[in-house]
């Protein structure tokens, strides 16, 4: 027996030594890999001081990167300015630029592999690249030249990398190098901007799905309003919407923003103050790239999407502007009847029309090229078949303003040079997609607003549901005339604000949208702006970071009242007591916002569990507003079918509260004194390559950062299902037009896309805390690089 024991001990020692040796090898290999990554990341850092030759320049260009990494580019000509802008953007963001054009063009599979095929099919079907290429002819000769100059600058940088081999480490990890840049790449990224800011086609499909699956009145409970006339209802036999559209790519709901402008009558300086913070996906690198561009005729500062010339949001030495998403109905789904004997023909006004068939072969990394065809009817691409057969002879095609030729990048160039409201409004005529709410301020005291862009006028229908495509009764009759678009100039109340809210009164003669953002951000902004006549830039920054939750102010007291008299356990009573003593601020250190926001999450989801699939929930545009309306109706004694099925509003609230408390205890324990919103609600700004588990430790910040706010506060901070903040103010900007030389900015998490750059994540804490950096039009200090011909 003793001998057996000794043998076991020896065996355990051998296994122990083997395990230790194996772990040592793994650790050594990991350290070597990290050293390799560190080496390649360091060697690919761009040159930011001294001199550098750039092919295509005519004269030297000065580039000063200030303390926040913002490049101030000064050139003798527009030619040299835009060549330099392309070169500098590529220095800091080349991998991001390449991914952006690939995503929008549907060519990710070439570098990622088979996992991206469905995504590529979707974007090939939409045809953003095709629309961009069609748009080229509509641009002026001057704008075309700018786009070519910009591409020359990007390609000059790519050529240098081909020669040196010092590619950004992401290209090394992905195993490819980028192709040359073209003007069509910039235009395609511009079209993707329209996609990301959305339309409402998915909502139309979702409502049709509701009518297929549920009794009409139950389906209508989830509509924003009742259809004006009897809709055409597709049967399941005609088309299975759930199967056909389950793989569609849907941008985050209400990729929106806040913006406002205050007249000099309400400011300490006596001049207008403007504030803007677009709410988009939060990631590394930022969707925005901040720059200052200067020639003898241009002096403009602000942000742009990497891959595009000019400045889309910001200010020059005379004016400032900002945007929010108008969110109009600029998309329609048409129900198409296909010829059973000739599937390339579709019925319209009693005749069979030949559709266009576009070959879109999809090349796959380390695999075969997949043949893929896109069918395009008179209305647009057939989108119901990109992932699955939709129906034997019935399809859905998409008509969308962004698929038509448009010249939004030319509008940006013209906006940059505008010196007053008249010139700026003239420039906006060319900003056709996406439709945006522009606010404006200038040093001459003018404040203004315009809901700008192509918004369709329909012969019939109200954009709630897909409409018959076999008749001309539902065609578009042009767009809302430019001089009839919503517009405000120097209002008597002394301010203008928008937050993706309804922008017109009920007597406005044209249809804008059926779906608007929840009103709470706009309500809070207006509440603050009405309260003071002596505002400063600091006040505007404080408002951008405001955490007052007006949804909680509306609903939390009603939740508490509804549960009074119910038999509650101690945990439930304690939770309600915490809410009862809350100031309704989504402060990261408080327990109340944790309880309320998770409770609202369950309220928004539980009533649909088991009835609407997760895929279809992705199409449920405006769900939070719909649920808010269901709650209001229930509290007024009008419980709809969805609430009644849950046993009534009281039982439903109680059920969701129990789920909430169970979640919180799993996450943060049973000691309510240790609960806090920030321990759940955190931001990280994840890198796209961090989805590969080991790389998250390389590209992401070490640990997530607790933050306040929520999806309904002015300090926007929306989350995924795990509490990770992934949506919010991607850029924050304020300016007092009394000093047009100075703007205040935040670009989270930082300017650079290079892992080893000092500007990679330097603004992450600033983003959480609301600490802005100052950008000057006359900046003379910083790391100086001279680009030479």
In terms of DSSP bridges, do strands 495-498 and 717-719 run parallel, antiparallel, or are they unpaired?
A: unpaired
Q: Which of 257, 406, 710, 757 is catalytic?
A: 257
Any binding-site annotation on 615?
A: no
Place of tokens 């996406």: 434
Spell out the residues 6+ positions from residue 230 whose beta carbon is closer than 8 angstroms to its own: none
Pick the closest to residue 716 from 521, 558, 460 (CA basis).
Answer: 521
In terms of DSSP bridges, do strands 731-736 and 742-747 run parallel, antiparallel, or are they unpaired?
A: antiparallel
Any binding-site annotation on 769?
A: no
- b/e map of 80-98 (b: 16 or more CB within 10 Å)? bbbbbbbbbbbbbbbbbbb
For 366, other C-beta atoms within 10 Å of its C-beta total 7
3-state SS assignment for residue 751: coil
Dihedral sign computed on CA atoms, order 763, 286, 411, 417? positive
Structure tokens at 663: 């979640």
Distance separating alpha carbons of residues 184 and 130, to the nearest angstrom: 9
Pick the closest to residue 97 from 190, 216, 198 (CA basis).
Answer: 190
- Cα dist from 613 to 414, 603, 605, 629, whole Å: 46, 16, 11, 22
The secondary structure of 619-639 as a DSSP string is T-TTHHHHHHHHHHHHHTT--
3-state SS assignment for residue 267: strand
Distance separating alpha carbons of residues 634 and 624, to the nearest angstrom: 15
In terms of DSSP bridges, do strands 467-468 and 331-337 run parallel, antiparallel, or are they unpaired?
A: parallel
Distance separating alpha carbons of residues 264 and 270, to the nearest angstrom: 4
Torsion of CA 509, 513, 519, 521, to 10 degrees: -110
Residue 257 among the catalytic residues: yes
DSSP type of residue 608: T
Distance separating alpha carbons of residues 295 and 79, to the nearest angstrom: 10
> CA-based angle 269:273:276, to the nearest 5?
155
Structure tokens at 172: 């090394």
Sheet strands (E) in 401-502: 436-442, 447-452, 456-458, 467-468, 476-479, 487-489, 495-498
- Contact, 428 vs 449, CB < 8 A? no
Query: Cα-flanking dihedrals φ and ψ of residue 50, to 5°?
Result: 90, -140
- b/e map of 600-612 (b: 16 or more CB within 10 Å)? bbbbbbebbeeeb
User: Omega into 749 within 30° of 0, i.e. cis?
Assistant: yes
Place of tokens 């950096």: 773
- Contact, 435 vs 194, CB < 8 A? no
- Contact, 518 vs 624, CB < 8 A? yes
> Which residues belong to the active site?
257
Residue positions forming the annotated binding site: 329, 332
Residue positions forming the annotated binding site for Ca(2+): 329, 332
């Amino acid at each position: 027996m003793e001998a057996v024991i000794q043998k076991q001990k020896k065996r355990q020692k051998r296994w122990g030594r083997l395990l230790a040796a194996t772990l040592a090898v793994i650790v050594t290999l990991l350290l070597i890999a990290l050293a390799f990554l560190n080496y390649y990341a360091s060697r690919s850092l761009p040159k930011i001081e001294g001199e550098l030759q750039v092919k295509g320049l005519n004269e030297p260009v000065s580039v000063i990167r200030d303390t926040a990494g913002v490049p101030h580019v000064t050139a003798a000509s527009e030619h040299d300015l835009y060549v330099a802008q392309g070169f500098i953007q590529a220095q800091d963001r080349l991998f991001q630029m390449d991914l952006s054009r690939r995503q929008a063009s549907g060519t990710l599979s070439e570098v990622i592999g088979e996992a991206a095929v469905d995504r590529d099919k979707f974007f090939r079907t939409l045809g953003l690249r095709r629309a961009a290429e069609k748009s080229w002819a509509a641009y002026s000769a001057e704008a075309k030249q700018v786009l070519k100059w910009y591409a020359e600058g990007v390609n000059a940088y790519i050529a240098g990398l081909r020669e040196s081999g010092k590619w950004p480490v992401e290209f090394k990890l992905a195993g490819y190098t980028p192709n040359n840049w073209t003007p069509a790449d910039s235009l395609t990224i511009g079209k993707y901007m329209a996609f990301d800011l959305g339309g409402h086609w998915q909502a139309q499909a979702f409502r049709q799905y509701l009518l297929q699956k549920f009794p009409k009145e139950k389906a209508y409970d989830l509509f924003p309003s009742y259809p004006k006339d009897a809709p055409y209802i597709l049967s399941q036999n005609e088309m299975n919407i759930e199967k056909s559209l389950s793989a569609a790519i849907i941008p985050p709901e209400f990729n929106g923003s806040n913006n406002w402008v205050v007249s000099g009558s309400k400011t300490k300086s006596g001049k207008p103050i403007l504030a803007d913070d677009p709410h988009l996906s939060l990631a590394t690198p930022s969707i925005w790239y901040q720059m200052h561009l200067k020639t003898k005729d241009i002096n403009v500062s602000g942000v742009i999407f990497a891959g595009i010339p000019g400045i889309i949001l910001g200010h020059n030495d005379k004016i400032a502007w900002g945007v929010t998403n108008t969110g109009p109905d600029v998309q329609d789904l048409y129900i198409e009847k296909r010829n059973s004997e000739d599937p390339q023909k579709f019925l319209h006004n009693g005749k069979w029309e030949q559709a266009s068939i576009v070959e879109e072969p999809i090349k796959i990394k380390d695999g075969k090229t997949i043949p893929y065809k896109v069918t395009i009817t008179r209305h647009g691409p057939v989108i119901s078949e990109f992932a699955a057969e939709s129906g034997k002879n019935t399809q859905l095609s998409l008509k969308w303003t962004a698929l038509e030729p448009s010249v939004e990048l030319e509008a940006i160039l013209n906006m940059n040079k505008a010196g007053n409201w008249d010139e700026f409004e003239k420039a906006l005529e060319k900003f056709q997609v996406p439709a945006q709410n522009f606010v404006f301020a200038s040093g001459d005291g003018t404040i203004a607003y315009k809901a700008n862009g192509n918004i369709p006028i329909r012969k019939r229908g109200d954009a709630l549901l897909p409409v018959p495509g076999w008749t001309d009764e539902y065609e578009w009759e042009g767009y809302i005339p430019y001089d009839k678009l919503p517009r405000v100039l120097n209002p008597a109340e002394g301010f203008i604000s928008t937050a993706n809210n309804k922008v017109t009164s009920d007597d406005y003669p044209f249809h804008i949208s059926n779906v608007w953002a929840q009103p709470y951000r706009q309500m809070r902004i207006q509440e603050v702006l009405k309260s003071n006549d002596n505002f400063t830039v600091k006040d505007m920054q404080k408002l951008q970071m405001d955490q007052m939750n007006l949804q909680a102010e509306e609903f939390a007291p009603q939740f508490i009242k509804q549960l009074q008299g119910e038999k509650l356990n101690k945990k439930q009573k304690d939770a309600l007591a915490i809410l009862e003593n809350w100031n309704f601020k989504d402060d990261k250190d408080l327990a109340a916002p944790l309880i309320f926001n998770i409770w609202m999450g369950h309220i928004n989801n539980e009533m649909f569990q088991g009835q609407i699939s997760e895929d279809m929930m992705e199409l449920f545009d405006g769900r939070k507003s719909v649920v808010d309306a269901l709650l209001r109706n229930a509290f007024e004694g009008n419980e709809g079918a969805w609430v009644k099925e849950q046993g009534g509003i009281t039982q439903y609230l109680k059920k969701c509260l129990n789920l909430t408390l169970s979640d919180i205890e799993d996450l943060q324990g049973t000691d309510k004194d240790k609960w806090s919103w920030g321990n759940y609600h955190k931001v990280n700004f994840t890198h796209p390559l961090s989805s590969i588990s080991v790389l998250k430790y390389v590209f992401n910040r070490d640990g997530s950062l607790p933050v306040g706010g929520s999806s309904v506060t002015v300090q926007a901070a929306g989350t995924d299902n795990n509490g990770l903040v992934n949506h919010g103010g991607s850029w924050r900007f304020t300016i007092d037009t009394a000093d047009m030389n100075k703007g205040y900015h935040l670009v989270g998490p930082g300017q650079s896309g290079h892992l080893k750059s000092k500007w990679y994540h330097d603004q992450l804490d600033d983003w959480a805390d609301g600490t802005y950096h100052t950008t000057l039009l006359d900046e003379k200090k910083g790391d100086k690089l001279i680009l030479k011909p």
